[in-house]
Structure 1
Amino acid sequence: MRTKLNLTICLLAGLIFGLSANAQKTVIKKEALPANAQTFLKTHFGSKNPSYILQDKEILSTEYKVQYDSKIEIEFDKKGNWKEVDGKNSKIPNSIIPKKIASYVKTNFPKEKITKIEIGTYGYETKLTNGLELKFNLKGDFTKIDK
């Protein structure tokens, strides 16, 4: 009985290690990004060149991470749709923030700037310069404050 348990644990550990070993991070050029990501970068960052662009390939998914000298980091999914823009406690470009969210923040937190925005299945999550995290639905309606 104990031998079977040990064998099962070893097989599971080997499987997990094998799957994670297949993950590959590669530095790529801007032209190798999906078209959606290239358009996003051109729209919101113009002709600025990123410090680096990583392609993170795993067995079931591919993601991209772009970082600029200003420390702004953008994450894209395999289709080139943005998932997160993180200013690392610095203001992110207003053009990225949906108008309804920007308006809410300007009205309710006039001294604060958005330093991070993330889009998920159920909506947006933003972080302000004061550390507050605000959540919005996909329509941009405020839902709650996280701390």
Structure 2
Amino acid sequence: MKKLILTFTALLALAFIVVSCDKDDDHQVPNTELPAAAVSFLDTYFKGITIRKTEKQTPTATNKTAYSVELANGIEVDFDQEGNWKEVESDNDTAIPTGFISTTIVSYVDTNYKTAQISAIDKVTAGFEVELTNDIDLLFDPSGQFVKIIL
């Protein structure tokens, strides 16, 4: 019986250590902590949509995201520390608003993919990665010119 209790205690301690060493630095914060630029972006392009959750993250060298906002309509918007959008993505593969996206990108999608809409856009070093509702991913350069289909 002592062995069983000792084993259980050791496993419990190990589980506690593993959980406490988690490197996930994301934590929920009040919406009032968002930078003014992020608030303005949400008010402009997602007016009237309730914020479900706001998380503050520790930006890394490869991922400059500082805030992640989950909206009630299933769209997630990531912002950098200054409140500039980094990524906008629909979790249910539906269209996202396009008013903030380069008209060159929107026109290219409208012309070449008439039955699809933009479901996600991500700012990347090479420009913009765009995901369509038909599961095609496109890469555009920083000026919005089409580069290639991402496989």
TM-score of the superposed pair, with normalisation by structure 1? 0.79
* Structure-2 change in CA distance of 1:101 and 1:59 (3 Å): closer
State how far apart, in whole Å, the 2-side matches of 1:70 and 1:62 are: 21
Deviation at 1:31, TM superposition (A): 1.8
Q: Give the corresponding residue for 2:82.
A: 79
- The one-character-per-residue Cα deviations of 1:103-131 (angstroms, maximum 9, x if unpaired) are 00000111100101001222001011111
State how far apart, in whole Å, the 1-side matches of 2:73 and 2:39 are: 18
Structure 2 portions without partners, runs of 5+: 1-17
TM-score of the superposed pair, with normalisation by structure 2? 0.77
* Structure-2 change in CA distance of 1:96 and 1:62 (3 Å): closer
Deviation at 1:25, TM superposition (A): 2.2
Written as runs of structure 1 = structure 2, the 5 A alignment for 1:1-147 is: 23-57=24-58, 63-88=66-91, 89-147=93-151
Larger Rg: 2
State how far apart, in whole Å, the 1-side matches of 2:104 and 2:60 are: 37
State how far apart, in whole Å, the 1-side matches of 2:132 and 2:50 are: 26
Deviation at 1:24, TM superposition (A): 2.8
Residue correspondences, number: 129
CA RMSD after TM alignment: 2.1
Deviation at 1:74, TM superposition (A): 0.7
State how far apart, in whole Å, the 2-side matches of 1:101 and 1:25 are: 32
* Structure-2 change in CA distance of 1:62 and 1:120 (3 Å): closer
Deviation at 1:97, TM superposition (A): 2.0
Structure 1 portions without partners, runs of 5+: 1-16
Report the secondary structure of 1:66's partner residue: strand
State how far apart, in whole Å, the 2-side matches of 1:110 and 1:53 are: 34
Report the secondary structure of 2:66's partner residue: strand
Report the secondary structure of 2:99's partner residue: helix
**Residues 70, 76 of structure 2: 8 Å contact kept:** yes
State how far apart, in whole Å, the 2-side matches of 1:135 and 1:24 are: 30
